[in-house]
Chain A
Amino acid sequence: MLYFSKLRIIFITIFSFLFILIASSNLFKFDDSFFNKKINLGLDLQGGSYLLLEIDNEPVIEQKLQNLTTTFRNFFKDKDIKLNNIKIDNQNIFFNVNEENKQKVIDIFKDENSEINPYYPRFKSHQLEIEDLGFNLKINFSRQGLIKLKTSSQDQAIEIVRRRVDEVGTNEPNILKRGNSRILVELPGLDDPTRIKSLLGKTANLTFRFVTQNDEDRFGVEKLEYEDGTPPVNVSKRIIISGENLLDAQPKMDTQNNQTIVSFTLDRVGAKRFGKATSTGIGKQLAIVLDGKIISAPVVRDTIASGAGQISGGFTFQSATDLALLLRSGALPAPLEIIEERTVGPDLGQDSINAGMIALSIGFLLVIVFMFVKYRFFGLITNFTLIINLFILLGVLTLFEATLTLPGIAGIILTVGMAVDANVLIFERIKEELKDEKNNILAFDGGYTKSRTAIIDANITTLLAAVILFFMGSGPVKGFAVTLGVGIFTTLFSVYFIARLFTSLYVTKNKNNGKLI
């Protein structure tokens, strides 16, 4: 165990220096891109906001089922089958058909190449499940159907979230999917997420619809409230134009009455529809509805054919800016709810870094002094190894551009405390060997060999705990698992290569000087 070939010594030296160099790239600037890596600081250290959003898919499912009923009705009409008493209840569609057509309808839904019930060829599961309840038929989304629906609404939502966050202009936001109905937003450096939260909290579903007096509109009528508390009015369900028709929206100052407004331009289809509606509807009130509330309902005075218009509604400049931003970035497919929020101010982050560094220095110092007092020369070897170990650990974290969190720093300090364990196991074993063995070389060799199983066992148990923590933990705790786990490998390397190398050099030179430890 004490013999090292020259090649091995060179390898160990190069390896150690390489990682020390990589670790030091956190302090200096290298031009070379390989050395230009840095350890990322977690949100708890650099300050910032962590928001976990959940998509409320219920309205999406309802809407989708609503659309499907129309599709089914038309599809079966062509086949001369009439669907009766169609109703949607609790995410199910119920309907009746004549007894002689029942099996036919079920067969169409269960056909592997069904036109109206897709997915089977690809997923071996249909989008929809049909069940014969005797008096009527029930249709609902299959598991696969629901998953597809959720992932597609997640795909849309994450795009809109990204646009909104980008528009606000925070630095390097991190927007990720979580599961199939959640979105994680990390905003480094942002210490007040109020505005982002309010922007993400709005679906921004914009529609222009006429206010009607009679309840007998062909498309149906609903009573809607005003944003500012004006008594509610009846609004037709017919949508003249919606947010999808907008090309651009900007906040503006209306010079005539000194009001902040949002001006918008429409796409070709929208302009055409808007022009037609304003020409036939002169004198009527056109309600501008955002997320089910009326912003304002101006009276149409002229035909607007240019495809440009404006929304007024007693905005402040800030609220007009936000509305314009929401309209530009588009509507979310479903409402989002913020189910977890963690925000750390930058000064607390800095305080945590300072405290972590002080604790690390003091912990390190205590361990070093303790080891020196206990083992003298071999304590020095252990301490030197510990320093290199620390650099290699930082080097590995830098190389993988790992994220360092406050618990992560605790993991490093803990590694310092536990790293000496392997060396202690070896030294104590050597001491025992020296009781019966006069030959220093043989005693040291025996010490290394006989302590090996205990060292490996002991490190594997800690590593197992770190791995579980890595997969089960979240955020800052994950950072702890990373430093603890990586620390085990760097510790074993530095104990078995660096410390052993120095020990072997010393022992071979002083083999005849009596008991060395």
Chain B
Amino acid sequence: MIAFNKYYNHFNVLSSALIVISLLLLIFKGLNFGIDFKGGTLIELRSTDTKINVSSLRDKFSQMKLGDVSVKKFGSDNDFLIKFENKDNKKNIIEEIKINLDKSFGNNYDFRRVENVGPKVSAELLKSGVIAISLSLAIMLIYIWVRFEWQFSLGAILALFHDVIVTLGVFSLFSLEINLSIIAAVLTIVGYSMNDTVVIFDRVRENLRKYSDIKIFELTNISINETLSRTIITSATTLLALLAIYFFGGEILKGFSLAMILGVVFGTYSSIYIANTVLVRLRVSQKTVLREDDSN
């Protein structure tokens, strides 16, 4: 048996620090919103000419006065991702750009993907993204509150907040782009983290009923160990699937799978070191679960 409970305090300090750092990052550095949430235009360009590179593209695009322009390599050497604000929301911007690029590069390039999101739509998408995440947290809270005693709900929700905040913190730290698929990833993380926590909690509650003489500090450790191989196997298979998406699923799914990978790692960690320590700190005992049974 591994003595997870020996490190409860250490990891609580670490988690608190991670949350504080993440929050500071989110407040002061902010998130790198993609055009889905900020508005603007994105062009994925493939070239067949070595003359076309990041710097020549950057030159061309900055001449066109489109506001902030970012040009990046996208996966392979001849694929580029160009993003700009399109501040004045010009109508025929794509056609103008094509004419401009034709002059310098001829026919040696191709637009593989064009996305243009107006300011109204991006504001709405951001709003519905925030609503979706808040709603999912609220629904999980209600679900767990119905299924378990309030001490368990608090533990699960704290773990959930930890996972979401720290994942977003990592995205802020490395300026990774937040787009629609990241919202999908965050929601899935919420589901996964909850899933993981619930499985351990289920065992804690079962053990609470079984043993009246074991303190919660020991009991959580027993429960964690009993469910440990399941925790490891499930996170391992999920991570294997996600790594396959990350490395082979193409550039578009990179951000999504990275967010999910982080979420699974944090989710597994928090089920053990946040959810359970809340039970310990709230001095959950056999009475907690039995009282609930009586009232039912």
Q: Mark A443-459, 1 if CB is under 8 A from B, else 0.
A: 00000001001100111
The answer on a CB contact under 8 Å between A473 and B183 is yes
Contact A466 to B242, CB < 8 A, known contacts A341-B115, A355-B248, A374-B233 = no
Residues of B within 8 A of A338 (CB): 91, 116, 118
- Which of B13-21, B23-31, B131-139, B276-284 contacts the other chain? B131-139
Summed over the interface, the residue pairs from A and B with CB atoms below 8 Å come to a total of 215
Residues of A within 8 A of B206 (CB): 450
- Which of B52-60, B61-69, B168-176, B252-260 contacts the other chain? B252-260
The answer on a CB contact under 8 Å between A345 and B116 is no
Bound together, the chains give a CA A366 to CA B238 distance in angstroms of: 10
- For residue B111, which residue of chain A has the nearest CB? A345
The answer on a CB contact under 8 Å between B260 and A359 is no
Q: Is B199 an interface residue (CB 8 A)?
A: yes
Residue count of chain B within 8 Å CB distance of chain A: 69
B65 → A minimal CB distance (Å): 21
A464 → B minimal CB distance (Å): 5
Q: Is A188 an interface residue (CB 8 A)?
A: no
Q: Mark A336-350, 1 if CB is under 8 A from B, else 0.
A: 011111111101100
- Which of B1-9, B120-128, B212-220, B287-295 contacts the other chain? B120-128
8 A Cβ contacts from B95-152 to A: 95, 110-118, 120-121, 125, 128-129, 131-132, 135-136, 139-140, 143, 147
- For residue B44, which residue of chain A has the nearest CB? A348
Bound together, the chains give a CA A424 to CA B256 distance in angstroms of: 26
Q: Main SS of chain A's interface residues?
A: helix
The answer on a CB contact under 8 Å between A465 and B187 is yes
Q: Is B195 an interface residue (CB 8 A)?
A: yes
- For residue A337, which residue of chain B has the nearest CB? B118
Bound together, the chains give a CA A374 to CA B116 distance in angstroms of: 48
Q: Is B158 an interface residue (CB 8 A)?
A: no
Contact A414 to B184, CB < 8 A, known contacts A352-B252, A356-B250 = no
8 A Cβ contacts from B227-261 to A: 227, 229-230, 233-234, 236-245, 247-250, 252-253, 256-257, 260
The answer on a CB contact under 8 Å between B199 and A425 is yes
The answer on a CB contact under 8 Å between B203 and A367 is no
Q: Is A155 an interface residue (CB 8 A)?
A: no
Residues of B within 8 A of A345 (CB): 110-113
Bound together, the chains give a CA A406 to CA B257 distance in angstroms of: 12
Residues of B within 8 A of A337 (CB): 118
Q: Is B275 an interface residue (CB 8 A)?
A: no
The answer on a CB contact under 8 Å between B117 and A340 is yes
A64 → B minimal CB distance (Å): 23
For the complex of A and B, the 6 pairs showing the least CB-CB separation, nearest first, are: A417-B241, A465-B191, A363-B244, A355-B250, A472-B132, A339-B118
Not counting A340-B121, A414-B245, A466-B188, a sample of 7 additional A-B residue pairs whose C-beta atoms are within 8 angstroms of each other reads A352-B250, A407-B253, A414-B238, A418-B192, A461-B195, A472-B132, A477-B183
Q: Would you give 9 A-B contacts (Cβ < 8 Å), ordered by A?
A: A197-B92, A340-B116, A359-B247, A363-B240, A417-B238, A418-B241, A425-B230, A450-B206, A462-B195
Seen from chain B, the residues whose Cβ lies within 8 Å of a Cβ on chain A are 44, 91-92, 94-95, 110-118, 120-121, 125, 128-129, 131-132, 135-136, 139-140, 143, 147, 180-181, 183-184, 187-188, 190-192, 194-196, 198-199, 202-203, 206, 226-227, 229-230, 233-234, 236-245, 247-250, 252-253, 256-257, 260
